[in-house]
Every structure is written in C-alpha cells, then in structure tokens.
Structure 1
Amino acid sequence: MTITHQDELDGLKDIGRIVANTMHAMGKAMEPGMTTRELDGIGRALLEREGAIPAPESTYDFPGATCISVNEEIAHGIPGERVIRAGDLVNIDVSASRNGYFADTGATFRMGKVRPSLDRLCRDGKRAMQTGIAQVGSGKPLAGIGNAIGRFAAGRGYTLIRNLASHGVGRALHEYPEEVATWPNRGDRRRMHKGLVLTVEPFLSSGGIWAVEGDDDWTLYSQPPAPVVQYEHTVVATERGALIVTLPG
C-alpha cells in the first residue's frame, strides 16, 4: 500500500494501535501453565472488542486468531494444548484488519527468567529490528534494510533466517513489495517511494539459517536447530524516515 491521503494514514494507525495493544496485552497476560490456545483466546477477544478481523484466519484460513510460537517453533505456531512454562521464549505475532486496513506486529516474550544467552538474543533481536527501521525512508534502497541488519548480526556473532522476509502490507496482509530481505541482498535494486507501507521483521538466531515447515503444514522450525527471536513493526516510508504505526496507545 502507498499512503496518499491523511484518512488512509489514520486508518492504518488505527489498526496498528489495535494489533499493538493486543500483542502487548497478550504478553502481559501470559503465565506458566497457560496453554497457547488460552493465550490466543485472549487475543481474539481483544480484537473482536475493537471490531478487528484476525488476518491469518481471514486471509489464509489459519487455525487461530494469532500465531504463537514457543521455543523451537520460530513462526506460524498454531494455538493449541501446548503449555507455556517458566523459561520459555514465546513469540506472539498479531495481524488484523479493520475498515479495509491491515497491520502486522510481533515480538518474542520471555516467560519469566531465561538463560543469559537467550536474554541477550532477545535484546539484540529488538535492536536488529530497530537497525532495519532506521534504513526506511522515501528514496532509500529496500536492500539497505537487510544490509544494515546483516552487519549488525554478523558483528555480534548471530545468523539470520534467510527465507522469512519482511513484506508490504496495508490493504492486504501481504502485498507489494512482496519480499523484502532482512539479510544482505545485493540483487535487489528497488527503492522505497514516499508513503510505502511495509513490515520490518528480522529473525535473529544463534545459528539458524533457514525456516523449515513441520508436520502440521504451518509451524516453522530453525534449520539447523537454534534459538530464534523475531520483532516486527509496520512502518510507513516518509521523507523524514520511518513512521511506526504499530505502537500501543
């Protein structure tokens, strides 16, 4: 989507606020002994209260309102009977639509105290996302996002999952520019135009390179097996840089 009028930006900010509030509320509600289905139910209720439609369900017939991935599950985890335990890493990915506008956000939450290496990975995962967002702006190269994130990751001894990319969003969950690498990509010559809406969502890992599908045809796992975190915002490219729309409020 390309923002051309204030009402479009207002609509995008509206759904951005809703998905951000939902994700953070789910993170706060999370507790040991809770199943991922119960956590998803909290998210669904919050979205329904705001008149928002869960995007994975409406777009892809995903079996849940939100994607909840625990530990070895790195993305697209199906809410179910899995019990969340102390020390787990839980990724919550919330995307939804309202009044024809879509926004997408996600974060990896720690369930209580985690190992120091995982704590560091979480902190650096958020910094990796911020590094990519700093490269967003009208006229800037799309590849600059992944190049900057790649330098950040390599400098700290991390790897990046190289087949889970950022994407355009706004009038649909996934749209132009389709795939935006969050790893170094010399072949992409595209540039961001003013008003372009996209996500920035690197998957930072301590050894993983690829995401592979599990037996349920949805849940993704790291190959080779390694911890992975993901942080995601929906942003608009402006002449002054990135405007983040998935902020709670």
Structure 2
Amino acid sequence: MTITQEDELDGLKLIGRIVANTMQAMARALEPGMTTRELDEIGRAFLEREGAQSAPEATYDFPGATCISVNEEIAHGIPGDRTIAAGDLVNIDVSASRDDYFADTGATFRVPPVQRSLDRLCRDGRRAMQIGIAQVGADKPLAGIGRAVGRFASDRGYTLIRNLASHGVGRALHEEPGEVPTWPTHDERRRINRGLVLTVEPFLSRGGLWAATRDDEWTLYSEPAAPVVQYEHTVVATDRRPIILTLPG
C-alpha cells in the first residue's frame, strides 16, 4: 500500500497500535506451564475487544489467531498443546485488520532463565531490525535494507534466514511490492516510493540459512538447525525518518 491521504495513515496507526498492544499483552502473560493455545487465546480476546480480526486466520485460514513459535520453530507456529518451559525462546507474531487496514508485528521473547548467548542473539536481533528500518525512506533502494542488515550480521558472526522476507502490507496482509529481502541481494533494483507501507523483519540466526516446513505445512524450522530470532515492525516511508506504526500505546 502507498499512503496518499491522512485518513489512511490514521487507519494504519490504529491497527498498528492494536497489534502492538496485543503482542505486549501476550508477552506479559507469558510464563512457564502455559500452553501456546492459552497464550493465543489471550491474543484473540484482545483483538476481539479492539474490533480487530486476525489476519492469518481470515486471509489464509491459519489455525490460530496469532503465530507462536517455540525454540526450534522459527515462524508460523500453530498454537496448541505445547507447554512453554523455563529457558524457552518464544516468538509471537501478531497481524490483524480493522476497517480494512492491516498491520503486522512480531518479536522473540525469553522465558528466564536463558543462556547468555541467547540474550545476546535477542538483543542483536532487535538491533538488526532497527538497522533495516533506518534504510526505509522515499527514493531509497529497497536493497539497502538487506545490505545494511547483512553487514551487521556478518560483522557479528551471524547468519540470516534467506527465504523469509519482509513484505508490503496495508490493505492486505501481503501485497505490493511483494517480498523485500532482509539479506544482501545483487539483482534487486526497485526503489522505495514515498508513502510505501511495508514490514521490516530480519530473521537473525547462529547458523541457520533457510526456513523449511515439516509435517503440518505451516510451522517453519531452521535449516541447518540453529537458534533464530525475529523482530518486526510495520513502517511507512517518508522523506525523513520512517514512521513506525506498530508501537504500543
């Protein structure tokens, strides 16, 4: 989506705030002993109270209101009977719509106590997202996002999952300009137009290169197997700093 009117920005800010607050409510409730289904129901209830609808459920018939991925699961985890334990890494991804506007956010949370190296991976994963967001601006190259994130990852000895990309969003969960790589590419020539709405969501890893499904056709795992974290905001390109839509408030 490309924003052309102020009321469009207002609508996106509203749903952006809703998905951010939903994710934070789920994160506050996260504790050992609860199931991922119980955590998802907290998210579903919050979205319903705000008059919002789960985007993956409505768009793709995903079997849950939110995606919850634990440890070896790196994305699109189906809420179910899995019990969250101390030391787990839990990725919560919330995307939803209200009044025909869509926003998407996600983050990886730690259930204490966790290894110090995973603390560092989470901190650097959030930093990788921030570095990518800083490359979003009117008439900047789309490839600049992946180049900047790639330099950061390489300098610190990390890898990036290279088949889970950022994407356009706004009037649908996934829309133009389609996939936006968050890793270095050589054939990406597109530029960012003013008002473009997109996610920035690198998947930073300690060795993982690709995401692959196994049995349920939804849940994604790292190949080769390695810890992976993801942090995501929905942003709008402007002539100055990008506007981050998915901030709690």
Fold match, TM over 0.5? yes
TM-score normalised to structure 2 length: 1.00
- Counting only pairs closer than 5 Å after superposition, residues 66-105 of structure 1 correspond to structure 2 as 66-105=66-105
- Secondary structure in 1 matching 2:112: coil
Residue number in structure 1 paired with 2:185: 185
Residue number in structure 1 paired with 2:237: 237
Contact 1:208 1:226 in 2 (8 A): yes
Residue number in structure 1 paired with 2:27: 27
Q: Quick one: which amino acid aligns to residue 144 of structure 1?
A: G
User: How far apart are 1:125 and its partner, in Å?
Assistant: 0.1
User: How far apart are 1:49 and its partner, in Å?
Assistant: 0.2
Contact 1:139 1:193 in 2 (8 A): yes
- Secondary structure in 1 matching 2:164: coil
Q: 1:47-80: CA deviations, max 9, x gaps? A: 0000000000000000000000000000000000
Q: Is 1:119–2:148 an aligned residue pair?
A: no
Aligned residue-pair number = 249
Q: Is 1:53–2:53 an aligned residue pair?
A: yes
- Secondary structure in 2 matching 1:172: coil
Contact 1:205 1:229 in 2 (8 A): yes
Q: Distance in 2 between the 1:195 and 1:216 partners?
A: 37
Residue number in structure 2 paired with 1:228: 228
User: How far apart are 1:112 and its partner, in Å?
Assistant: 1.5
Residue number in structure 2 paired with 1:136: 136
User: How far apart are 1:35 and its partner, in Å?
Assistant: 0.0
Q: 1:140-161: CA deviations, max 9, x gaps? A: 0000000000000000000000
- Secondary structure in 2 matching 1:123: helix
Q: Which runs of 5+ in 1 are unaligned?
A: none
- Secondary structure in 1 matching 2:157: coil
User: How far apart are 1:178 and its partner, in Å?
Assistant: 0.6
Residue number in structure 1 paired with 2:17: 17
Q: Distance in 2 between the 1:166 and 1:181 partners?
A: 6
Q: Which runs of 5+ in 2 are unaligned?
A: none
Query: How much is the aligned-residue C-alpha RMSD, in angstroms?
Result: 0.4
| 4+ long deviations beyond 3 Å | none
User: How far apart are 1:241 and its partner, in Å?
Assistant: 2.5
Q: Distance in 2 between the 1:156 and 1:113 partners?
A: 24
- Secondary structure in 2 matching 1:47: helix
Q: Distance in 2 between the 1:112 and 1:16 partners?
A: 28
Q: Quick one: which amino acid aligns to residue 130 of structure 2?
A: Q
Residue number in structure 2 paired with 1:157: 157
- Secondary structure in 1 matching 2:237: strand
Q: 1:185-240: CA deviations, max 9, x gaps? A: 12100000000000000000000000000200000000000000000000000000
- Secondary structure in 1 matching 2:87: coil
Q: Quick one: which amino acid aligns to residue 72 of structure 1?
A: E
- Secondary structure in 2 matching 1:183: coil
User: How far apart are 1:109 and its partner, in Å?
Assistant: 0.3
TM-score normalised to structure 1 length: 1.00
Q: Distance in 2 between the 1:245 and 1:210 partners?
A: 28
